[in-house]
A = this chain, B = another copy of it.
C-alpha cells in the first residue's frame, strides 16, 4: 500500500497524485482515524499542527484541514483555535449498538430489555395500523418460523424476520430502522459458515410458536393492547430463560 516514495519537489508538477483509487483527504482521514482507534493517539493527546501533518504525510494543508474537519464532525477530534486538535474520549462517540454480540449473554439480555419496550410498542401500533399486505407478510413469516421448527433448523433468522415484519407494520420507519440496528444481536453476525460456531446456546423455546401465534393473532384482530401484552410476554420469557442460562452457567 506504500509506493509513493518519490516526492516530486517541482512546484506544480503533481497536484494530483498517482491515482490510488481514493482521495488523499479520505486516505488521511482514515489513517488518522486508524491511529486513534489503535490508541496510537490516546484521548487527550494533541495532534501535530496542520503544517506538521501536511509535511509528515506529504500533502497540502488543505487536505489536512478537510481530513481534520471530517474527524471533528465525527466527534473524534476537538479542535481549538490557536491551540490545536485534541483526541476526544472514545466513549463520547462510540457507535451505538456497535458491540452487539450473541456470544455474550449479558449483551443478549441487555438487548432483550430494550426490545421489550420497543417491540411491545411496535406490536401495539402494528395491530392498529397494519395494511393487508403487511398482515400477510407477518403471517407468512410466522409460517416460516413454524417450518424451521418442524425441519429442525435454527429459527434465529426467521424469528428475526417475523419481528421485523411486525415492526414494519407499525407504519413508523423508526421501528424497522431500530430492528436492523439490533439485527446482529439477534442473528449471528458471522454467517454460521461451517463449523457450528455455537453462539449463545439460544435456549430453545418450546412455546415459541404459540407465543408468536398470540402476537400475530392479536395483530390480526387489531387488538393493540393484547398485541403489546403478548409481545411483552414473549420477550420477557426469552429474558427469563437467558437470565437462567447466565446463572446456571453456559456449560451446563
Contacts and interface: CB of A to CB of B under 8 A. Distances in A.
Interface stretch (A110-118, A136-144, A153-161, A212-220): A110-118
A45 interface: no
Interface stretch (A2-10, A50-58, A66-74): A66-74
Interface stretch (A35-43, A169-177, A201-209, A241-249): A169-177
Interface residues of A, number: 34
A25 B175 contact: no
A49 interface: no
A199 interface: no
B73 A113 contact: no
A118 B116 CA distance: 8
A101 to B, nearest CB: 13
Contacts of A135: none
Nearest to A125: B113
Given A62-B62, A177-B97, A178-B96, A25 B114 contact: no
B114 A121 contact: yes
Nearest to A179: B96
A180 interface: yes
Contacts of A174: 97, 110-111, 113-114
A122 interface: yes
A118 B114 contact: yes
Contact of A172 (B25, B113, B118): B113
A224 interface: no
A114 B73 contact: no
A233 B66 CA distance: 46
A187 to B, nearest CB: 15
Contact of A69 (B25, B114, B175): B25
A169 to B, nearest CB: 13
Interface in A57-101: 62, 65-67, 69-70, 73-74, 96-97
A120 interface: yes
Contacts of A121: 113-114, 116-118
Pairs A-B, 5 closest by C-beta atoms: A117-B121, A96-B177, A114-B174, A66-B69, A70-B73
